[in-house]
Amino acid sequence: MNPIDDPRLTAMGLLAEVHAGLVARMQPVLSTAGLSEIDFETLLRLGRSPGERLRMTDLAAQTGLSTSGVTRVVDRLERDGLVTRVACTADRRASYAALTDAGRERLTAVLPLHLADIQRCFTGLLADEQLEAFLEALRTIRDVVRPCATAGAAESRSPVRS
Amino acid sequence: MNPIDDPRLTAMGLLAEVHAGLVARMQPVLSTAGLSEIDFETLLRLGRSPGERLRMTDLAAQTGLSTSGVTRVVDRLERDGLVTRVACTADRRASYAALTDAGRERLTAVLPLHLADIQRCFTGLLADEQLEAFLEALRTIRDVVRPCATAGAAESRSPVRS
DNA sequence: TACGGATATTTGCGTTAACAGATATCTACA
DNA sequence: TGTAGATATCTGTTAACGCAAATATCCGTA
């Protein structure tokens, strides 16, 4: 068989297509709230972190952006008043990006609409068991392609045992 | 429950994480061959199309790029000799992007390595039934978020019945 | 045939991100 | 204490993409 028609390519293409399609579907709600995809992800990750704050480097690791990319994103969010930089007393090289009140409010304002989007275009389309199997498959793949993606989540800050 | 911890957000994040992780895993093989992700997708879609060619607009619809984005991608690929523009005789506004011999060779050279990547990090991780269920779920979602993504595939060129 | 709106492609411009290099600070060890 | 290497962040440069505008062509209608 011609490798160009290999079903594995179709599988990969399907995954990419679904991801791109979902992101496109979510975008209107977010941009109505004045947030880009990466803005939303940043606010969400900050909101989920202890003290609603993360070091720039940890934010980069969690989002997959480069550290310079995080610098600019936080620049924009800080300019919009949604995030503020807080000096780290323990390590003067580092600084935290912390959610402001405005940032938290923006986030909580968008979340219900965003969750409805996810429900309508993703989780709500699959039966409970089907969804659980789907997520289990995703976790299986995630464990292979992305071994450590929880930077800054406290337990992962401790050094790896050698 | 705090909506920030809603499992639907986790599901969406997991999907995004897996997609990003897979793309990152595939990247070394492609860039070793001198291809960006979008370059590879373009060559692949051309190679799969009748006559190994597609109109710029159809390429844009299939890849999700804007038409101007397709113009630049094809500019680059044409400069590298992997693709060539062919005037459309039936519609002089349109032009085809067509695979060159070099483009086809580049594609067939990369495909085995790329397929091995997919096998190792994705399809090979799931049992046959599990994989089929996973793909079926993806198709269910795809049908909702991306109703028409087969532009230029001959049957879809016929006008929709009203 | 001639006109007006639609369509295909390209080009100019602004935004965003990655990469590399610079600076400040930390940590380990002599 | 002092020095070397590692680490956190920021800044300059370059590349890619989307949007809007420009151009060429097509098609339906008078």
Domain limits of chain A? 16-151
Which CATH architecture fits B20-110?
Answer: Orthogonal Bundle (1.10)
Place of tokens 């990466």: A38
Its CATH class, for the domain covering A16-151, is: mainly alpha
Q: Which of residues 126-145 of A touch B (CB under 8 A)?
A: 126, 130-131, 133-135, 137-142, 144-145
A109 touches chain B (CB under 8 A): no
pLDDT in tens, B83-111: 999 999 999 999 999 999 999 999 999 99
Instruction: Say how far apart CA B148 and CA A104 lie, in whole Å.
Output: 37
User: 10-residue block means of pLDDT along chain A (162 residues)?
Assistant: 93 96 94 95 97 97 96 97 96 97 96 97 97 98 80 44 29
Q: Does A146 touch chain B (CB under 8 A)?
A: yes
Residue B68's nearest nucleotide, by CA–C1', is C10
